Amino acid sequence: TSTRTEYFEMWRSAMGAGFIVAFMAILKIYSASATLPPLGYALAYSLNYSSLFMLMHVLHLTLATKQPAMTASAIAAAISGIRGRMKDVEKLAGVVTDVIRSQIAAILGNVLVALPMAMLIALAIERATGKPCMTAEKAHLLLHAISPFDSLALFYAAIAGVCLFLAGLISGYYDNLAAYERIRERVEHIRWLKGLLGDKRLTRLATYLHNNLGALAGNFFFGIMMGTMGTIGFMTGLPLDVAHVTISSAYFGLAIVTLDFAVDLPTVLHALLGIGLIGFVNLSVSFSLALMVALRARGVAFSQTGALIAILIGRLRTNWKQFFWPQDK
């Protein structure tokens, strides 16, 4: 997001992902209301998450919490080239500023669409069917689950952060696998597929799989982890579940409409604070783990953390807008 064009493109892609997450949330609510065995719920949730996460990638949309695995790698690459030179720490501060700006744009784009879109969906369902999309009891439970004071929301957000980190590792594994196993060449030589699609379409498919196998696999397995974690907690009796900032904002919108907007102000404020803190924990946990692995993979130890923090604080004091809006260069 170093230029205005890139910045608005990030907002567009993030808003598109927020639109899909609203439907993901309502599908999760209806899946939860079905009568299924525990593993049936896990399968239904996993298919919902995985298919729509993969759809977001195919449509070139951005889920904010999927960024840390990529941005951590970029920062690690910048750190590996510092070698103690202060001017390079300045360049690194520029990279970090760009990352912060892109992350803020992505998460706001997600939430500011997912929340009102979920409310519109809930209103449409209520008008079409004559009843809300969930019970009032379920709506109160959702609001309680988002509250950072009355629930384990932040702990569950940390678990989601670990899942995001693992999804990044899985993406890297399958990207390497696509190159090492020469997926593109092997797909191009499948005779029945060539007869079905023709040479040009088969070449496009093979190229797409080569370039996107890692991202598709990472999104698929991230959906599996998101969908099964609660069931694992239920079956083992352990406090295991996930809390994701964009999905939580959609749940908030659904719950508010179900309760006919009759929610006291402290509950609303607790929920909004919870959404913000869930997002912070999602990103900080996944980013920290990804950065640690990226640094170890490059064999570098960053010893100028203090200098970097000082530069970032100086930028914040002198021109805080650069963390939210691309500056003319």
Question: Mean per-residue pLDDT for 21-36?
Answer: 94
Lowest mean pLDDT, pick from 11-25, 90-104, 223-237? 90-104
Question: Mean per-residue pLDDT for 220-243?
Answer: 95
Of the chain, the percentage scoring pLDDT greater than 90 comes to: 67
Q: Fill in the amino acid letter for 225.
A: M
The answer to whether residues 145 and 157 touch, using CB atoms and an 8 Å cutoff, is no
Confidence of residue 85 (pLDDT cuts 50, 70, 90): low
Lowest mean pLDDT, pick from 14-28, 72-86, 280-294? 72-86
More confident residue, 306 or 311: 311
For 189, phi then psi, to 5°, come to -100, 10
Q: Could you read off the pLDDT of 118-148 as tens digits, one per residue?
A: 999 999 999 999 999 999 999 999 999 999 9
Q: Could you read off the pLDDT of 204-214 as tens digits, one per residue?
A: 999 999 999 99
Q: Could you read off the pLDDT of 239-279 as tens digits, one per residue?
A: 999 999 999 999 999 999 999 999 999 999 999 999 999 99
Q: What is the pLDDT of residue 303?
A: 66
Question: Mean per-residue pLDDT for 88-116?
Answer: 88
Question: How far lies 128's CA from each of 53, 112, 122, 295, 328, in Å?
Answer: 28, 25, 10, 53, 49
Q: What is the pLDDT of residue 96?
A: 83
Q: Could you read off the pLDDT of 151-169 as tens digits, one per residue?
A: 999 999 999 999 999 998 9
Confidence of residue 89 (pLDDT cuts 50, 70, 90): confident
Confidence of residue 87 (pLDDT cuts 50, 70, 90): low
φ/ψ bin of 261: left (φ > 0), alpha (ψ from -120 to 50), beta (otherwise):
left
pTM for the predicted model, two decimal places:
0.89
Q: Could you read off the pLDDT of 181-193 as tens digits, one per residue?
A: 999 999 999 999 9
Q: What is the pLDDT of residue 328?
A: 65
Q: What is the pLDDT of residue 310?
A: 86
Orientation angle between helical segments 4-33 and 38-58, nearest 10 degrees: 160
Q: What is the mean pLDDT of the chain?
A: 90
Q: Fill in the amino acid letter for 187.
A: V
Confidence of residue 4 (pLDDT cuts 50, 70, 90): confident
Q: Which parts of the chain fold into alpha helices (H)?
A: 4-33, 38-58, 68-80, 86-129, 136-146, 153-180, 183-188, 191-197, 199-236, 245-258, 265-298, 305-318
The answer to whether residues 162 and 185 touch, using CB atoms and an 8 Å cutoff, is no
* Eight-state DSSP code of residue 181: T
The neighbour count for residue 261, using CB atoms within 10 Å, is 9
Contacting residues for 161 by C-beta, under 8 A, at least 6 apart: 65, 281, 282, 283, 284, 285, 286, 289
Q: What is the pLDDT of residue 17?
A: 95
